[in-house]
Amino acid sequence: MPGALTLQPMFPSEAPVSRFAPQGNDEVGDGETTCTNGFAQEEYVVEFAAPAKVLAVPPSVDLSGEAFSYKASYELDGNAIKVKRVLDDRTPGPICAAQYNRDYKAFMLKVLANLKAQVVYQ
């Protein structure tokens, strides 16, 4: 029977990529705000047991913005998927202008979309 799931690390870390990405859902006002930076890297392998067969993996992405970048790769080898994600947020802070916040929001929405992409299996 076919199915689908998102890929997430099995064990939590202090600063996973998924900690940053939801900021794409935040409202952005017209004024300055406080802001910070951060870095997250995830690398893990997910293996599907036989007789399951992986039919599709999320697309790899390479995104960059004014002071932030995100790279994600998904390599399928048989029934194993190697996941590598790196988010590098070099926001200068501690104060960010409204336009910077709008750009950051748009960027994080793209990251969030990649995190929600699914593996399809049968």
Q: What are the pLDDT digits (tens) for 74-98?
A: 999 999 999 999 999 999 989 999 9
Report the Cα 25 to chain-centroid distance in Å: 14
Dihedral sign for Cα atoms in the order 38, 23, 112, 13: positive
**Side chain identity at residue 69, one-letter code:** S
- Dump pLDDT digits (tens) for 43-54: 999 999 999 999
The pLDDT score that the predictor gives to residue 14 is: 86
The pLDDT score that the predictor gives to residue 28 is: 93
pTM of the model: 0.91
Cα–Cα dist 68/107, whole Å: 8
Cα–Cα dist 112/25, whole Å: 9
CATH 1.10.150.120 fits 3-121, yes or no: no
